């Protein structure tokens, strides 16, 4: 069934250029405190979990004609819709196969009001796929806050957003230009800082006490946690190696660590 609404206004060239800049330039996202999502799945997640942060939705004429349920949900949210052509969609998108669905989203300001005791911190995790997967994993395990340090992939970059599968709206991502300083401030407030490492001299994940307020720091794919951050940490922890594998992907490591914490919590509850 087609949504019966007034015809949306067309996309102006200046606005199209602005969307392209937001998708491609982190500096533009930072200055405007906005970012662009692409695709019906990400838009649906935004409508479900952060409807008040959707500023404008941009849909091709084909989407307006064929995806009545999505269009109706946008109208129900009282969000402005702008019509775009297939050519404009291809120009705006940084993917090979644009889906004709975009939305301008306001970045949530950092509130530091997470009710959970556990925080993740990323120390120069450069791959946007890893950062997005960590965000997605954190959302699954109920982690509400991730601190993203300098040198890490932008959580609002298109590749990161796609990897997060829309869970960017479930987790508060706080970027910092000085992770060491941010962690030191948290430490003064009573948080225990645990830095992950591959070193066998570090404490085992499975013997660590995860009660209380904790920040778990995940390091870069190539170099691990920096010396500056390790110097602040209360302890270093590692996932014990049992087989012959050389290393673990940082996103996979986050899943193992958060799964272990969840298992401990579950045992206490039950």
- Condensed to tens digits (0 to 9), the pLDDT of residues 133-182 reads 999 999 999 999 999 999 999 999 999 999 999 999 999 999 999 999 99
Using 50, 70 and 90 to split pLDDT, how confident is the model at 2?
very low
CA atoms within a 13 Å half-sphere pointing along the CA-CB vector of 193: 26
3-state helix, strand, coil in the chain (%, to 5): 45, 20, 35
DSSP 3-state of 60: strand
Tell me if 239 sits within 8 A of 253, measured CB to CB: yes
| Segment among 159-163, 199-203, 234-238 with least mean pLDDT | 199-203
Tell which wins on pLDDT, 247 or 45: 45
- How many Cβ atoms from other residues are within 10 Å of residue 26's Cβ? 15
Question: Model pTM greater than 0.95?
Answer: no
Per residue in 17-34, pLDDT (tens digit) is: 999 999 999 999 999 999
Among 108-112, 129-133, 214-218, 234-238, the least confident range: 108-112
pLDDT for residue 247: 83
In this prediction, residue 120 carries a pLDDT of: 98
Q: Which domains does the chain have, with CATH numbers?
A: 13-106 (3.30.1330.30), 118-269 (3.40.1280.10)
């Amino acid at each position: 069934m087609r949504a019966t609404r007034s015809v949306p206004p067309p996309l102006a060239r200046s606005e199209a250029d602005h969307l392209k800049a937001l998708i491609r330039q982190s500096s533009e996202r930072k200055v405007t405190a906005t970012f662009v999502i692409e695709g019906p799945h990400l838009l649906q997640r935004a409508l479900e979990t952060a409807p008040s942060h959707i500023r404008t939705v941009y849909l091709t004429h084909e989407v307006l004609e064929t995806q009545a349920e999505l269009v109706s949900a946008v109208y129900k949210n009282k969000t402005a819709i702008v019509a775009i052509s297939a050519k404009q969609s291809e120009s705006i998108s940084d993917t090979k196969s644009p889906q004709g669905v975009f939305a301008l989203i306001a970045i949530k300001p950092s509130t530091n009001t997470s009710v959970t005791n556990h925080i993740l911190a990323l120390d120069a995790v450069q791959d946007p796929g890893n950062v997005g997967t960590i965000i997605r994993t954190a959302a699954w395990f109920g982690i509400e806050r991730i601190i993203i340090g300098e040198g890490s992939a932008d959580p609002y970059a298109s590749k990161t957003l796609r990897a997060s599968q829309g869970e960017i709206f479930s987790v508060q991502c706080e970027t910092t230009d000085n992770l060491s300083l941010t962690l030191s401030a948290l430490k003064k407030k009573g948080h225990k800082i645990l830095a992950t490492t591959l070193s066998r001299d570090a404490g085992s994940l499975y013997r660590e006490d995860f009660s209380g307020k904790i920040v778990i720091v995940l390091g870069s794919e190539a170099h691990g946690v920096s010396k500056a951050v390790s110097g602040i940490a209360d302890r270093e922890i590692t996932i014990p190696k049992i087989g012959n594998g050389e290393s673990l992907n940082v996103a996979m490591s986050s899943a193992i660590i958060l799964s272990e914490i969840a298992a401990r919590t579950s045992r206490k509850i039950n």
